[in-house]
Amino acid sequence: AIQLPDTHVKSDFMDTLGRPPRVITCECERSQEPNMAQALMFINGELLNRKVGAEGGIVDRLIKQGKSDEETLDELYWTTFGRAPNSVERETNLKLLRKAVAQALTAPAVTTQAKPDPKANTDALRRRGFEDMLWVLVNSKEFLFNH
């Protein structure tokens, strides 16, 4: 927000999070109290969902770079929390991700003419799983409290 040259730049995101009008130079101008609009914006807001699944976003880049599940998980934790996942977080997240991908791969396929590419299908499923994981991390108390 401080890098914006003009306080009149439209941003519902920043307004919801309490952007002050910058009329006076006082900390009291900013609202620090959480509210329902903020919670709803993070839980199901279009901006966050669009950013999590963006082409060229962190998950997209890591999948395209061929990073392993472990490397991708580490990168998401470092990006959101500034730390690596602990052993329980690592084990739980990787187990849930792999279970979801395996279940999706064995689910009855929708009728298609072409034979699906298993590698592309697995990458697409991994991407969806890591996008969901990133959404959960950004909506966690640890992220919201620290950021």
What pLDDT is attached to residue 6? Answer: 60
> Helix, strand or coil for residue 65?
coil
This prediction's pTM:
0.67
What's the token pair of residue 98? Answer: 């792999």
Any idea which of 31-45, 94-108, 120-134 has the lowest mean pLDDT? 31-45
With bands split at pLDDT 50, 70 and 90, how would you rate the model's confidence at 143? confident
Look at residues 127, 137, 146, 142 and name the one whose alpha carbon lies nearest to residue 48.
137
